Structure 1
Amino acid sequence: GKKKEGSVAKYVTRTQAVRHLQVPLSVFRKLCILKGVFPREPRKKVKGNHHSYYHTKDILFLKHEPLLEKLRDARAYEKKIKKAVSKKNRDLAERLLTRKPTYTLDMLIRERYPKFVDALRDLDDCLSMVHLFAALPAVDNAIDGDKIPVTRVHNCRRWLSHEWQAYISHTHKLRKTFISVKGIYYQVEVEGQRITWLTPHSLQQVLPEVDYRVLLTFLEFYETLLGFVNFKLYQSINVKYPPILDPRLEALAADLYALSRHFDASSSRKKTLQSKTDEQMETALDESELRLAQLQQQLPTNEPGALMQIVEGVAATDDEDDVETKECRHLFKNMKFFLSREVPRESLLFVIAAFGGTVSWEGEGAPFDESDDSISHQVVDRPSQGRRYLSRDYIQPQWIYDSVNARILLPSEKYAVG
């Protein structure tokens, strides 16, 4: 036939793409989300303005994707299960459900993010989506019957969001925070990249009328991405991943505090191992000094200490933090905070720990009680207090956020309750 040129050859409509790949629209939409393929805007819309257009190369790219065959197999397997259920063959249906084919997105993460810094640059939407689902109720959607599984919500809350916050607070990478009507904005700096995300308020969430299948597909990809990022970040500070938490604190919904305890336990184990290896290091140090002395004789005469300066410079760059991280670490140093039950506990636990403070709360699993004399500040948000201690300042939560953004301890008199 006649050779196609221009927009006709470069772009195809969504209907043509679905027919070419021989998959239903739901599978095509899921594949495009996972692979990062999105509609284009050609200069000349040959089929009309009411169509969505895709690049022909993108469709050929999807055609040779190994995940496409796995999605086809999963769809065919679901038809087998439906057929067994319709024939009331319960044993066959249960047996088929236990052997349902699965797939992983590990290769897609490596394909879309060749370097770790690429994943960090694309982490804003990922963190916002994960923190959103961590606050959603796991209920059926009354609109089209879609369901938000309990395991997905638990995974977002227990594993991904709290693990990320625990790393940020442990390494003091939090830079700014802002409270708005939508939620609480956080901005961190990880390996030179500024990352901003939004966390909803800890209130009852009302599910809007949206297509949750699309959101769950995005969440499926973001869960894998954030899992890889958390693993890489935990490995960079020599902490085992995934962390093993105290089951008592986990049952009391104190996951973030349990993760901080895990970090402290890991650092204490390193100290004990370091003390055991000190004796071995002393003997090795004598040999290394002898070797350095021999190498130093081979250096030019006008640079007698060049090799030692190089070694010390490398050690200094590894151990030193930047100036901003030091400021964040020492802002709330040697200060103890106690949170009353009416303040946003999870947000304040995250922010105070990220800036070097010690924090406790009202309830079981808390590290110290309200009657502790060493408490310097108590965060409250109601005017009437049952018992007031003269040795501490009573402040509103806004004092924490304003002091963090200003990087100085603001006067607490303006933030008193009442």
Structure 2
Amino acid sequence: MNNGIYKRIILLVALSITSAFLSGCWDQLEIEDRALVLGLSIDSVPANSETEDDKTTHLSSANINLKKIRVTAQIAVPGRVPLGPSSGGESSGGGNQNPVWVIQVYGYSLDDAMNNLQQQISDPRYLIHLRVIIISEDIARSNLHDLNDYLRRNPEVRRRTWLLVSEGEASEFMNINPPLQRVPTLYILSTLEKAVTSGKFPANYMGVFWSAESKWGESGYLPYVSLHHKENMLIKGLAYFSGGVMVGSTTPIEIGAYMAMKGINPGGYSVLFNSDKFGPVILKTNDRFTRVKVQLKNGKPHITYNVFLDTALDEHINSEANISSSQALKELEIESQKGVIQILDLLIKETQQAHSDIFGMGEYVRAYMPSYWKAHVHDKKDWEEQYSHLTVDIKVNSNINRVGLKEE
């Protein structure tokens, strides 16, 4: 009798445990029932313009005294996003139908605008697949604190999302029609990711930007992009920040200069300069390596950069001059080093005038001179001010390892 009761108890316990695994997904939500936001653009709204106030988060009597922003969301349409390469002139999963739905909303903050967005769509919005956020330059030059606060608190937002600054209106990027990709956000994402692998841009995701902005000895930067002919995106430079706001931008060639200062590989930029002896020459950088030395001079930090570049002779435009001998290559290396130093010096001076230490020189001072750092730097503004007067020496060692094949 006791054995029977014991077996029944074991059976009931086993059934109770098994039922937990057989209950199914009671809280399941199909992917077709989710509004997957792929990209966002954020623009400022002029004070004089008339915009709708959806009053999703407030009443009219609230008297909100804030400037409005315009948020454009790119939402994936289920069944239309192509899953592979196109075939026969049509992409998989939807033919010539638009694979995304572009919606424009207004709000006093990003959270307010996203609530207004949810009020206009039936499915719950999800930011799990959000990969690109583009903000206009006037937004970047105001204050990104509220924007970063919302994104950092939202657990759905990936730290590997790209945050870009656009020249002009950011909303135009949500409606581009690139021939190589049917989904605009995926085209922008692919452009940035391939720029990283080809050495055209550092892997500066949104999480990296936040990390730099949180350090006292480093300032953040973001990709600075522009739109050409409504079809292609140009990576125009680096948008560098100081005090949490954008204070300037670089040229495309200065992206390569920044990556050389940081020793970021692979090398992907070519430099065109006019040699006094050989005429116009294009050298391509293949590899970079940098050593940084920090020391005190006259009681203040002094930093020396030793930049090593492995280059290749891409083109010799003036074919009359001969660069076939090792002595000629050595002379060309010396001339190229002067040209690279000129570009690096110009970039440092530009960022010093803007009080934006995008190179992280302050972090070297903090690491190698902790006593000086504790005595003179008490917040980020202190170092940004010191960086504007910092003395920096640049030494470049350039080696031409490849000259290509030429049939005489």
TM-score interval (norm. to shorter):
under 0.3
More strand by share: 2
Return the TM-score normalized by structure 2. 0.26
More helix by share: 1
Return the TM-score normalized by structure 1. 0.26
